[in-house]
């Protein structure tokens, strides 16, 4: 009877009074002892208030019941689909919203709705995946900053694909210890592109040289990453690089000269389809002809396969000496043996890249030498 009286009163009451009454009704539903019939009537009254023309009334109802697991689920779902200032209470707080509800809200709602979902106290992987796929930059930032969000590696990769060009997103992704290696590689590409797009850079560097510098910087970054990842991650990174067209002869030579043999072996396994044990055996102890046949099976032309064979033999020698300058040793000896004979074509281009690596390594060694000398003299 009380609820019926409330409904009759609501027909003529002012919006402010209706809002206060809606809030009181919601709190009474959650906190008061009610008979079954009264409880059902109260739920019907709240459902009726969902159609109230005043947002103030619906907001007051949402503020009263959104946080509770005992609120009527149908009412919560309707409030979550209301305009943002009303929906925010249900979307961010309600424990009644299941993953499927949140995914549907993300798909059918506005950017503000997705931002509200990203701000929930806890977020499951499926919900994070939905946001990673369709959320805007602000929602992604909120999700990455949310310590209660569980995010799968594939979702982190998707964020890197969609928003790697955004500095803030890139920074938050790179700070994560669970960032998959493929995503890290994508972010290095975005950094390279961002640098190349700087007006000052474009005005001062020739486009062809800028393209080469960008490519080699990206390769250097990937080689560095390849030396830090686990053996389980190597195959994923190799496959990602192959499908994206980054397993070039230049990149493979860079990895081999740098002594990233675990990664290099994984790349050759991927490119040849040979058994991993056999590939490793040939690289470590195989004769020259076996090594050359392996590289040509990987798609390297006969013109440059000889360079790779020599680099492999040099790597074997350098690894036995435990040299701290493996890159410089291998590159320097390759240049000594091939530079005079390669006048044009792919082999010449590869040797030019090797020479740039060699020069960069020499300069790095010089910096280290000067630092040590300065400390000794201090």
What does the pLDDT profile of the chain (378 residues) look like in tens digits?
A: 566 677 777 777 888 888 998 998 899 899 988 888 888 988 988 998 999 899 999 999 999 999 999 999 999 999 999 999 999 999 999 999 999 999 999 999 899 999 999 999 999 999 999 999 999 999 999 999 999 999 999 999 999 999 988 889 988 998 998 888 888 888 877 766 665 565 655 566 666 665 666 666 666 667 777 767 777 788 888 888 888 888 888 889 888 888 888 889 999 999 999 999 999 999 999 999 999 999 999 999 888 998 999 999 988 888 777 555 677 788 888 888 887 776 567 888 888 888 888 887 887 788 877 777 777 766
| Residue 160 to residue 164: CA distance in whole angstroms | 5
Q: Which of 281, 230, 221 is nearest to 255 (CA)?
A: 221
Domain spans of the chain, in order of start: 180-243, 247-378
Give the per-residue pLDDT at 297.
Answer: 94
pTM, 2 dp? 0.68
Give the per-residue pLDDT at 145.
Answer: 96
Is 26 in a helix, a strand, or coil? Answer: helix
Task: Name residues whose C-beta falls within 8 Å of residue 37's C-beta, 6 or more positions apart in sequence.
Answer: none
**Vertex 25 angle, CA 19 and 30, to 5°:** 135
Q: What count of Cα atoms within 13 Å lies in the side-chain half-sphere of residue 146?
A: 24
Give the per-residue pLDDT at 125.
Answer: 96
| Residue 51 to residue 46: CA distance in whole angstroms | 9
Contact of 58 with 84, CB cutoff 8 Å:
no
| Residue 70 to residue 39: CA distance in whole angstroms | 12
């Amino acid at each position: 009877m009380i609820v019926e009286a409330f409904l009759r009163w609501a027909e003529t009451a002012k919006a402010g009074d209706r809002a206060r009454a809606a809030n009181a009704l919601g709190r009474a539903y959650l906190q008061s002892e009610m008979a079954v019939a009264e409880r059902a009537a109260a739920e019907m009254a709240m459902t009726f208030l969902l159609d109230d023309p005043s947002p103030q009334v619906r907001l007051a109802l949402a503020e009263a019941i959104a946080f509770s697991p005992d609120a009527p689920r149908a009412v919560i779902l309707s409030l979550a689909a209301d305009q943002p200032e009303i929906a925010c209470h249900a979307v961010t707080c309600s424990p009644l919203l299941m993953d499927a509800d949140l995914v549907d809200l993300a798909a059918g709602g506005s950017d503000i709705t997705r931002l509200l979902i990203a701000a929930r106290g806890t977020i499951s992987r499926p919900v994070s995946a939905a946001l990673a796929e369709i959320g805007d930059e602000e929602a992604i930032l909120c999700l990455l900053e949310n310590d209660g969000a569980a995010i799968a590696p594939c979702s982190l990769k998707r964020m890197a694909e969609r928003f790697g060009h955004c500095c803030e997103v890139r920074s938050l992704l790179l700070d994560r210890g669970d960032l998959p290696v493929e995503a890290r590689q994508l972010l290095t590409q975005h950094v390279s592109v961002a640098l190349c797009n700087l007006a000052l850079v474009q005005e001062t560097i020739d486009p062809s040289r800028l393209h080469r510098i960008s490519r080699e910087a990206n390769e250097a970054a990937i080689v560095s990453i390849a030396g830090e990842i686990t053996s389980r991650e190597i195959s994923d990174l190799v496959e990602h690089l192959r499908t994206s067209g980054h397993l070039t002869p230049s990149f493979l030579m860079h990895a081999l000269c740098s002594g990233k043999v675990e990664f290099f072996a994984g790349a050759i396994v991927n490119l040849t389809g040979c058994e991993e044990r056999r590939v490793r055996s040939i690289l470590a102890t195989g004769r020259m002809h076996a090594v050359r046949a392996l590289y040509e099976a990987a798609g390297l032309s006969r013109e440059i396969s000889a360079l790779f064979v020599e680099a492999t033999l040099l790597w074997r020698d350098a690894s036995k000496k435990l040299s701290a300058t493996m890159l410089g040793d291998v590159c320097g000896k390759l240049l000594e043996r091939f530079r005079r004979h390669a006048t044009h074509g792919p082999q010449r281009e590869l040797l030019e890249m090797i020479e740039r690596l060699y020069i960069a390594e020499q300069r790095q060694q010089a910096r280290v030498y000067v630092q040590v000398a300065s400390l000794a003299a201090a």
